[in-house]
Amino acid sequence: MIVNSHVRQSCRLSAVSKVSLVLAMGLVLAACNNEQAAPDGAAPASVDTAAAAAVTAPAIAPEDAVSGKVSAMTVEQLRDAARKAYGDNRLYAPAEDNAVEYYLGLRDKSPDDASVSSALTDLLPMTVIATEQSISRGDFAEAQRLSALLEKAAPQHPALARLKSNIETQQAAAVARAAELEVTAEEQAAAQLELERQRLADQKRQQEQAARELAKRQAEEKAAEEEEAAAAALASQQAAEKQAAERRAAAARPAAASKPTVADLRPLSMPGPQYPRDALRAGQSGEVLVEYTVGTDGSVIAAEVVSSNPRRVFDRAALEAVQSWRFQPISAPVTTRRTIDFNLGG
């Protein structure tokens, strides 16, 4: 009895060591127990076949990234669920109950909703990181799910091809490694449980950290917007004072033969806008309609955003560009509008 007990304990330790090796390699391995009897009339599954089935997760098409459960929800249900998931730090996991999936479902039903596009823009960098970590962990099913969400959200995302290639490469390595280790069904079950535990722990920690970083960035953006608004108010006041001075000066001069129009504007320098770094990384394009006034000295004395798509992403860059423009002097201020395009392909 004592000998048997030592043997069983030794076997358990050996199994735990093997499972630890498998998990350390970042692989989910499975194979039929070589001593287990096959079903009547069927040949035992080979280690290669069983292991390959265990470590290979099929790719998910972008159109299948959002589950049927989420797709069946109404616009208001999706909006409420997305806000709650966002607030609860369920940014990209678990499946069928995360902010990315809800926002994608909402975008399918309301494609012109700028707030949805803005939320997805914030969430995609975190989804990329989570995909990379799933690959490193050997959690290929989760990696395939996340990469499908990323592809549906942004088919041309610069990280997408690299992530897909890494999944394929690591899965192939996992299959090869699985054929060498020949783990039992019991060991595979232990490995799978450990992988699930690690996934949940990692996702909880990572999503909480991502939410904190996102909240910090949004607070910084809000502070920057308030600073911009204060600067714009000051600039507007200064422009108004300058316009008033110009009007007084114009009234003191003899009336001009005719008031200048937009056709009288002769540009001297009209540099293009600087592409915002965040938009460049995200591969975003857009446009901003700006109304501006050219003063008598040819400088732009006032400028404001009339509309933009997407909202606020390119506003600052467009205003800075317009405010740097210079024209030939004119006899009276002229106000006009121009659309500033931001196009990566242009």
Dist. CA 284–CA 343, nearest whole Å: 8
- pLDDT score at 7: 33
- pLDDT score at 249: 78
199, 207, 9: which is closest to 91 by C-alpha? 207
Give the type of residue at 326: R
List, for residues 14-32, the tens digit of each pLDDT value.
433 344 444 444 443 333 3
Domain ranges (residues) in the chain: 8-33+45-218, 260-346
Query: What Å distances lie between residue 213 and 90, 153, 225, CA to CA?
Result: 14, 21, 18
Task: Classify strands 334-342 and 326-327 as parallel, antiparallel or unpaired.
Answer: unpaired
Tokens (6 digits) for 327: 């024209």
Residue 302 is inside which H or E element, if any? strand 300-309
- pLDDT score at 184: 66
Query: What Å distances lie between residue 244 and 51, 226, 248, 297, 301, CA to CA?
Result: 80, 27, 6, 14, 12
Phi, psi of 337 (to 5 degrees): -130, 155
Q: Is omega for the bond preceding 310 within 30 degrees of 0, making it cis?
A: yes
- pLDDT score at 182: 66
Dist. CA 126–CA 314, nearest whole Å: 22
Q: Taking the CA atoms of 8, 13, 18 and 23 in sequence, report the sign of the dihedral they define.
A: positive
Dist. CA 335–CA 321, nearest whole Å: 16
Q: What is the CATH code for 260-346? A: 3.30.2420.10
- pLDDT score at 306: 95
For residues 291-320, one letter each, b for 16 or more C-beta atoms within 10 angstroms of the residue's C-beta and e for the rest, the string is ebbbbbebebbbbebeebebeebbbbbbbe
Location of structure tokens 């309301």: 110
- pLDDT score at 220: 80
The separation between CA 202 and the C-alpha centre of its own chain, rounded to angstroms, equals: 19
Task: Point out the residues of the chain with pLDDT beneath 50.
Answer: 1-54, 255-256
